[in-house]
Amino acid sequence: MVKLEHRKEATEDKKITVLPPPEKMFIPFCQHLGKLGLLEVKPGDKVITGQRIASAGAMPSAAVHSSVTGTVSSIETCAHPVLGRCSAAVIETRLPDSYAFRAREARDVDSLQPEELLDIIRDAGLVGMGGAGFPSFLKLKPPVRVRTLIVNGAECEPYLTSDYRLMLEKSDEIIKGALLLGRILGAEDICIAVEDNKPRAVELLLAKASGPLRVKKLRSFYPQGGEKQLIKSVLGREVPRGKLPFEAGAVVQNVATVFAAYEAVFLGKPLYERVVTVTGDCLSNPANLLVRTGTPISALISFCGPLKEEPRRIIIGGPMMGITQAGIDVPVIKTTSGVLVLGEKSGRILEESACIRCGRCVRVCSTGLLPCMLGAAAEKGMLEEAKRHGLADCLECGACAYVCPANRRLVQYIKKAKAEAAR
């Protein structure tokens, strides 16, 4: 556990602004953790906003929808923020177009059975929007009944404010969504967990919470918003080693996912747009944007420009667990919570030196590992030794590498060793 500079000042007071879609969209068929969806369009097809363009493939998988109205000009392999490359539908939008999704007529949500609600959520292509992108409907039907639904509003990554803005501007919808997911799970206890560096969101939600719903203010530290840490902070118990959260009696869903569930069920709207924090010291107008999936990040960057200096590092996600990008042609997908554009000062590479066994990594590891020893074994490819040091337990949160005075690339070594161990 480590205290980080929050660096949220630039965007925390910026209202969510709609980013108009550009003329060309690149919508990857995989925007989730799992297998590629099954294509349902071909070049030349006309699509409308919200139309499904890929259905869920072999599990785990999720459906993908078009975020615009237009024509599929081609299906090609395009840049992908997480996978590097991925098959995507290139859609040319018809401008001007009826951007707005036409909400279906209000349906009687209360009369729907949990199974019907789950179907709606599956068909809407919902995935965990906090970063990992695990298909939501799979997570919402655990093999045993859970008592608690935790709505993750911790947002412990520095810079990011998309969840915070959503909690401020869409609190009623989030509460309705949380009750809805609680009903699907049969949960008696629904807890919205928010870090104490977001007092306005805590107050607002507290004022509106009632019934089985409660709001828990958490201390601000990293990685408070990690699923396992969050369960420990909220319930005072841990997920048994190597098991899934439901075995600790809880399911965790990010606030953005909960909001998407509200939209899917109450408005019939599939997941094709999300709030993205666009910030960093290179941008003169950082913002929280409502962005359609498939929009290249170049459109986000130019919307928040002009650039103050030449970017050195462009990160999708937060600075602790996000992924650096080699170009600006990558599209926003369902899991893109932020785009950070960092310049010379915050983006430079620090030189690595020898481990001095100072123990800082040990003190910050929320999993209780010895990251310096694990990292050393991983670096040398000593997989058995690394496994003894808890290779599989590491969350890759990066707290150890953050505090390391020798700038050891601990997470990099550990990731590599995990990949080797999986072979």
Give the helix/strand (H/E) hosting 379: helix 371-379
Check binding of 267 to other proteins (CB under 8 A): no
Helix axes 162-169 and 255-262, enclosed angle (nearest 10): 40
Tokens at residue 186, please?
Answer: 């049969």
Query: Locate tokens 């009826």: which residue?
Result: 98
Q: Give the contacts of 144 (CB within 8 A, at least 6 positions apart).
A: 246, 247
393 exposure class (CB count in 10 Å sphere: 0-12, 13-18, 19+): middle
Indicate which single residue of 9, 238, 384, 420 sits in contact with other proteins (rule: CB under 8 A). Answer: 238
Please, what is the Cα angle at 295 between 79 and 32, to 5 degrees? 60
Q: Which of these ranges, 63-71, 136-144, 160-168, 407-415, lies near other proteins under the rule CB under 8 A?
A: 407-415
Check binding of 102 to other proteins (CB under 8 A): no
x/- binding map, residues 303-322, to other proteins, per CB under 8 A? -------xxxxxx---xxxx
C-beta closer to other proteins: residue 41 or 332: 332
Query: Please, what is the minimum distance in Å from the beta carbon of residue 372 to other proteins?
Result: 7
As beta bridge partners, residue 92 has 24, 71
Length of the chain: 423
C-beta closer to other proteins: residue 258 or 397: 397
Query: Please, what is the minimum distance in Å from the beta carbon of residue 308 to other proteins?
Result: 13
Tokens at residue 343, please?
Answer: 């310049």
Indicate which single residue of 360, 375, 377, 379 sits in contact with other proteins (rule: CB under 8 A). Answer: 360
Which pairs from 139-144 meet CB under 8 Å and 24+ separation? 139/251, 139/253, 140/181, 140/184, 140/185, 140/251, 140/253, 141/184, 142/185, 142/244, 142/246, 142/251, 143/246, 144/246, 144/247
383 exposure class (CB count in 10 Å sphere: 0-12, 13-18, 19+): middle
C-beta closer to other proteins: residue 128 or 390: 390
Give the helix/strand (H/E) hosting 6: none
**Do residues 208 and 191 lie in contact, with contact meaning Cβ atoms separated by under 8 Å?**
no
Q: For residues 158-187, which are near other proteins according to CB under 8 A?
A: 158
**Do residues 124 and 262 lie in contact, with contact meaning Cβ atoms separated by under 8 Å?**
no
How many residues line the site for other proteins (CB under 8 A)? 69
Check binding of 342 to other proteins (CB under 8 A): yes
**Do residues 215 and 194 lie in contact, with contact meaning Cβ atoms separated by under 8 Å?**
yes
Q: For residues 19-78, which are near other proteins according to CB under 8 A?
A: none
The dihedral through the CA atoms of 89, 94, 99, 104 has a sign that is negative
End-to-end CA distance of the chain: 31
C-beta closer to other proteins: residue 123 or 227: 227
Indicate which single residue of 58, 103, 244, 356 sits in contact with other proteins (rule: CB under 8 A). Answer: 356
Q: Which of these ranges, 49-57, 114-122, 146-154, 408-416, lies near other proteins under the rule CB under 8 A?
A: 408-416
User: Measuring CA to CA, which residue among 346, 341, 348, 347 is closest to residue 306?
Assistant: 341
C-beta closer to other proteins: residue 72 or 278: 278
Indicate which single residue of 72, 78, 239, 332 sits in contact with other proteins (rule: CB under 8 A). Answer: 239
Check binding of 327 to other proteins (CB under 8 A): yes
User: In this structure, which amino acid lies at residue 243?
Assistant: K
Query: Please, what is the minimum distance in Å from the beta carbon of residue 312 to other proteins?
Result: 5
x/- binding map, residues 386-405, to other proteins, per CB under 8 A? ----x--x--x-x--xxxxx
As beta bridge partners, residue 135 has 127
C-beta closer to other proteins: residue 266 or 303: 303
Indicate which single residue of 23, 244, 353, 384 sits in contact with other proteins (rule: CB under 8 A). Answer: 353
**Euclidean distance between CA atoms 236 and 350, whole angstroms:** 38
Check binding of 412 to other proteins (CB under 8 A): yes
Query: Please, what is the minimum distance in Å from the beta carbon of residue 401 to other proteins?
Result: 5
Q: Which of these ranges, 107-115, 124-132, 268-276, 357-365, lies near other proteins under the rule CB under 8 A?
A: 357-365
Tokens at residue 193, please?
Answer: 């967990």
Check binding of 422 to other proteins (CB under 8 A): no
Query: Please, what is the minimum distance in Å from the beta carbon of residue 23 to other proteins?
Result: 21
Question: What residue ranges bind other proteins (CB under 8 A)?
Answer: 2, 4, 158, 228, 232, 236-243, 310-315, 319-328, 340, 342, 346-350, 353-360, 362-363, 365-370, 372-373, 390, 393, 396, 398, 401-407, 409, 411-412, 415
